[in-house]
A = this chain, B = another copy of it.
Amino acid sequence: MFGASTRLGPVSPAAVTVDLVILTVREETLHVLLVERGNEPYRGLPALPGGYVRDGETLDAAAARELEEETGLAAHRLHLEQLRAYGEPGRDPRGRIFTVAYLALGPELPVPSAGTDARAALWSPVGPYLDGTDELAFDHGMILRDALERARSQLEYTTVAAAFCAEPFTVADLRRVYEVVWDVPLDPSNFRRKVTKAERFLVPTGDRRMLDAGRPAALYRRGDARLLSPPLLRGA
């Protein structure tokens, strides 16, 4: 099975895992799902949820399985996409372990302790892990930074922002997603003009949502457009 390694050079078998960056917006802040490590290495440090890819399992299936195990939610209800692979030789002290990172985006989710996996999983604001205040196990800090940059960029060119909103949602809900992920304030009026003009981004339900104060807001569901044209660029 690995006969070619003789010709190609020293190649030992390796392990392949998937790691998940599950992002959500809670209380006007971007949160990531982390698990506390119960074993060495990095015992006690928070880490991204993940696990080995099993025999006969695709990468996407492994990511979906881990997602359901950690959140207790059906994976098809979240946006899930591959981020990239990481394989630095020293990234795991136990040996050569490659990981394929996935980015998952979802609306405010139930407290994840209901998951099958018994490890303590919790939502944490991403801030302290981005600015270096707090540490993550392995190279998960880098993976988190890459994932966030991907998410920020995706908001510009795609409709994934709606994946952060539980349906039905208002234009203001959607705007708050952009403001929290990009960490900039946006003009409500101009934002509305753009997202409602984009084809098949938002589908009006006809209903309205009434809060304790103010005019009721129209409610929408996600349209079937995947790309946003024209894009919604940050950095005026």
| Bound CA span A84–B101, Å | 10
Known A-B contacts A1-B94, A56-B89, A85-B82; the reply to A14 vs B12 at CB < 8 A is no
Q: Are B13 and A89 in contact (CB under 8 A)?
A: no
How far does the Cβ of A142 sit from chain B's closest Cβ, in whole Å? Answer: 13
Q: Enumerate chain B residues within 8 angstroms of A15, measured Cβ to Cβ.
A: 1-2, 5, 11, 13-14
**How many copies of this chain?**
2
| Bound CA span A54–B12, Å | 8
How far does the Cβ of A48 sit from chain B's closest Cβ, in whole Å? Answer: 15
**Interface size class of chain A, counting residues whose CB lies under 8 Å from the partner chain:** 35 or more
Is A138 an interface position by the 8 A CB rule? Answer: no
Q: Enumerate chain B residues within 8 angstroms of A231, measured Cβ to Cβ.
A: 231, 233
Q: Are B88 and A55 in contact (CB under 8 A)?
A: no
Interface residues of A in 11-58 (CB under 8 A from B): 11-16, 51-58
Q: Enumerate chain B residues within 8 angstroms of A82, measured Cβ to Cβ.
A: 84-85
Chain A 90-109: CB-based contact to B (< 8 A → 1; otherwise 0): 00001110101000000000
Is A184 an interface position by the 8 A CB rule? Answer: no
Q: Are B94 and A11 in contact (CB under 8 A)?
A: no
Q: Enumerate chain B residues within 8 angstroms of A59, measured Cβ to Cβ.
A: 85-87, 98
Is A110 an interface position by the 8 A CB rule? Answer: no
Q: Enumerate chain B residues within 8 angstroms of A55, measured Cβ to Cβ.
A: 10-12, 89, 96
Using a CB–CB cutoff of 8 Å, the interface residues on chain A facing chain B are: 1-2, 4-5, 8-16, 51-59, 82, 84-89, 94-96, 98, 100, 157, 229-231, 233, 235
11 A-B residue pairs with CB within 8 Å? A9-B54, A10-B55, A11-B15, A14-B16, A14-B53, A53-B87, A58-B88, A82-B85, A84-B85, A98-B100, A229-B233
